[in-house]
Amino acid sequence: MSSQTSARRAFDALITERGLAFGGDYNPEQWPREVWHEDVRLMREAGVNFVTVGVFSWATIEPREGAREWAWLDEILDLLHENGIAVDLAAPVASPPPWLGLQHPDVLPVDRDGVRLVAGSRNQFSPASSTYRAYAQAITRDLAERYAQHPAVRMWHVGNEYGQIDHGDEAAREFRFWLRRRHGDIETLNAAWNTAFWSQRYDSFDEILPPRRTPYLINPAQSLDFRRYSSDQLLACYAELRDAIRAAGAAQPITTNFMGFFAHADYHSWADQVDVISDDQYPDPADPQSASGIALVQDLMRSLGGGRSWMLMEQSISAVSWREHNLPKSPQRARRDSLQAVARGADAICYFQWRQARSGAERFHSAMLPHAGTDSDVFRGTCRQGADLKLLSAVAGARVPTDVAILFDWSSWWAGEEPARPTERLSTMQQLNRWYRSLWRRGIAADVVHPDAGLDAYRVILVPHAYILSPEAAASLAGAAAGGAQIVIGPFSGVADEHAAILQGRSPVLLRELIGASAEEWAGMRPGMLRLADGFGPAEPQSADVLAERLRTEGAEVLAAHSGGDLDGIPAITRNGGAWYLGAVVSDGALDAVISGALAAASVSGPIAGVDVLPEGLEAVRRGGVLFLLNHGESPAEVPVTAGLFDLLTGEKTADTVGIAPGEVRALSEALSERH
Ligand code: GAL
């Protein structure tokens, strides 16, 4: 068995033994020892069974070069263990101590303007710095050697939210190595980047720089490769510390916390380097669409882990402190957010952080145990969640099956949003969220997959915006369509190759046959109306905006055409058997009509028989034998269900309909209904 397989098994064993993990970041080094005993007592009271220790403790462990202050860590690990609380022990490499940057300025990152960042905040390290990496290795190795066999330690956590970008000289050298590996020789790179444009030709790799400040636009292929390099460089930092922990004899699972659709790390390449996927999620309580947005992130996390359960490693229990204006979460909202993650495949619900910091930059960031102490709604909410999660242990390890894939690729996102394109108003994430919302409103989960991944398992495949599309991905879409899947493709897709060079021919070149249509250009558009074909779409008028292609059908039927203006009569939405194409950014009603048409054609429906679109704000998702119903809306919702289901959270049995009050959650168990 590979060490990764056995480490994953160790995670599953922990969950089986303890139930769903519940806890958060715990920073005892920021508090006097007296407080630790109170912490542990209150953790037990709240049902906390898992904490991440030491994320920012480098300067405490190594206050001066070479020092190793372990006594405090020995003591707290023993205390946690005596109290049955499992520890996710962090290699504390995210925030190096001030002395390191003073003694070795080369560890400090340089921004694109050439400014070297300094200590006094956190994260001041360059992932390219060999000095930083040597010091990070040393402390991680010593930590792992000391604690690999400690019974409290059930997981390892490397760094924190890897995302540092460096434009300095060492980064330039590393970038060149990376380019050499990718392109082989300089002429191949010149061709891939088309450096004949604007006289950018390089005679040797040594002439190439990271994209620092330039007088005008940077070569988009250079920029794309730098993003790829930066993600790979961060991954290398993670991987070498993971290997150091393993080499010290640790058998526990090792992970690092992701950040959803984070712009500086391509998690498709990271996913199989961690033993368990873990993610930090901070939906904004001020955003009315945050429930579907975070559901999409949760579907991504599950998909990154190949469908296996994942960990919600950080979230806030009330307000964060880093937005311009920070709305709190009610305890009910915080509970719903946690249960939503469980519904969508999480086996661990953790917070940043256990005890609110009494000073420091995050003094106003909420925590499970707030400044006000235990006599607070926040702490009572913490305890309630601990109790709820115990009731849900039956879902641990269960999967969230789906027949729908939504394609997403970091490279495509990066290249598709380089400046100097037809419109800056087209946002990959916005389109992804809009498309996903049609699924979410129907209680249909999606696997978020890379276009080059196998697509055979899916009956519906959504491609909101695949700017870069490989010939292999185009072929697998065509193969899926031939096998009976419905494929829905959005505008400005299949535009470029892997080097961000525009494919030559009528677009989308590689998908032209599949969609039975083609276009000659992409252009920003003025808002305009659509004329819908009879029998297609909603009764309300529909419109198009942002970007339009001058589509010509070549066998496809036209479901909607532009109406009025320069584009009058030009197809905007087409269908060619199982391939649906949108040649413009169309309004929500038209988009929803396309997606629901594809779902219906594939006979894919939500988890509640007879209900297509769920009541406003209601989320429905089935995990294992449990139907979760979460009311994110402001009105009560009611849906038909099988009579006699058992609500794991309330202990009630259902009649043939179930009501869900605003903010409430039901977890209806089919398996248990037979037993109770
Ligand atoms: C995360 C970070 C935590 C804490 C939190 C506050 O991004 O990992 O250390 O800063 O944000 O919301």
- DSSP labels for 158-182? ESSS------SHHHHHHHHHHHHHH
Distance CA(38)–CA(60), nearest Å, equals 21
Cα-based distances in Å from 400 to 22, 82, 447, 624: 21, 35, 9, 7
- Is 675 a residue whose pLDDT tops 80? no
Q: Ligand 1, closest atom to CA 320?
A: 12
474 lines ligand 1 (CB under 6 A): no
Amino acid in position 591: L
- Is 253 a residue whose pLDDT tops 60? yes
Task: Provide the 3-class DSSP secondary structure of residue 588.
Answer: helix
Residue 670 annotated among the catalytic residues of the structure:
no
Task: Provide the 3-class DSSP secondary structure of residue 639.
Answer: strand
Enter the CATH code of domain 618-669: 2.60.40.1180
How far does the centroid of ligand 1 lie from the alpha carbon of residue 52, in Å? 13
User: At 428, which helix (H) or strand (E)?
Assistant: helix 428-440
Q: Which one of 174, 314, 549, 664 is the catalytic residue?
A: 314
How far does the centroid of ligand 1 lie from the alpha carbon of residue 352, in Å? 6
39 lines ligand 1 (CB under 6 A): no
314 lines ligand 1 (CB under 6 A): yes
Which of 511, 264, 270, 304 lies closest to 411 in space, CA to CA? 264
279 lines ligand 1 (CB under 6 A): no
Which of 25, 53, 55, 161 has most ligand 1 atoms within 8 Å of its beta carbon, as the pocket-test mutant?
161
The tens digit of pLDDT for each residue in 549-576 reads 999 999 999 999 999 999 999 999 999 9
Q: 606 is written with which tokens? A: 């939500």
The tens digit of pLDDT for each residue in 186-214 reads 999 999 999 999 999 999 999 999 999 99
- Is 592 a residue whose pLDDT tops 60? yes
> Please, which residues have CB within 8 angstroms of residue 522's CB and are 6 or more apart in sequence?
422, 491, 492, 495, 507, 547, 548, 549
How far does the centroid of ligand 1 lie from the alpha carbon of residue 118, in Å? 19
> Please, which residues have CB within 8 angstroms of residue 352's CB and are 6 or more apart in sequence?
24, 25, 280, 314, 315, 316, 365, 367
The tens digit of pLDDT for each residue in 215-240 reads 999 999 999 999 999 999 999 999 99
320 lines ligand 1 (CB under 6 A): yes
280 lines ligand 1 (CB under 6 A): yes
User: At 469, which helix (H) or strand (E)?
Assistant: none
The tens digit of pLDDT for each residue in 360-417 reads 999 999 999 999 999 999 999 999 999 999 999 999 999 999 999 999 999 999 999 9
- Adjacent-strand bridge partners of 488: 462, 580
Give the CATH number of domain 404-601; options: 2.160.20.80, 3.40.190.290, 3.40.50.880, 3.40.1160.10: 3.40.50.880
160 lines ligand 1 (CB under 6 A): yes
The predicted model gives 323-346 an average pLDDT of 98
Which of 278, 318, 354 lies closest to 51 in space, CA to CA? 354
275 lines ligand 1 (CB under 6 A): no
Which of 55, 280, 351, 365 has most ligand 1 atoms within 8 Å of its beta carbon, as the pocket-test mutant?
280
Q: Return the pLDDT at 672.
A: 53
Residue 314 annotated among the catalytic residues of the structure:
yes
Residue tagged 């086996």 (tokens) = 347
351 lines ligand 1 (CB under 6 A): no
Question: What's the half-sphere exposure (Cβ side, CA atoms, 13 Å) at 524?
Answer: 9
How far does the centroid of ligand 1 lie from the alpha carbon of residue 155, in Å? 19
> Please, which residues have CB within 8 angstroms of residue 266's CB and are 6 or more apart in sequence?
228, 231, 410, 411
Domain spans, the chain: 170-220, 404-601, 618-669
Q: Ligand 1, closest atom to CA 282?
A: 12
How far does the centroid of ligand 1 lie from the alpha carbon of residue 322, in Å? 9
How far does the centroid of ligand 1 lie from the alpha carbon of residue 648, in Å? 32
> 427, 374 in Cβ contact below 8 A?
no
Q: Return the pLDDT at 673.
A: 46
Q: Which one of 161, 174, 549, 619 is the catalytic residue?
A: 161
Which of 314, 316, 337, 366 has most ligand 1 atoms within 8 Å of its beta carbon, as the pocket-test mutant?
314
The tens digit of pLDDT for each residue in 41-96 reads 999 999 999 999 999 999 999 999 999 999 999 999 999 999 999 999 999 999 99
Mean pLDDT of all residues in the chain? 97
How far does the centroid of ligand 1 lie from the alpha carbon of residue 335, in Å? 19
pTM score, whole prediction: 0.98
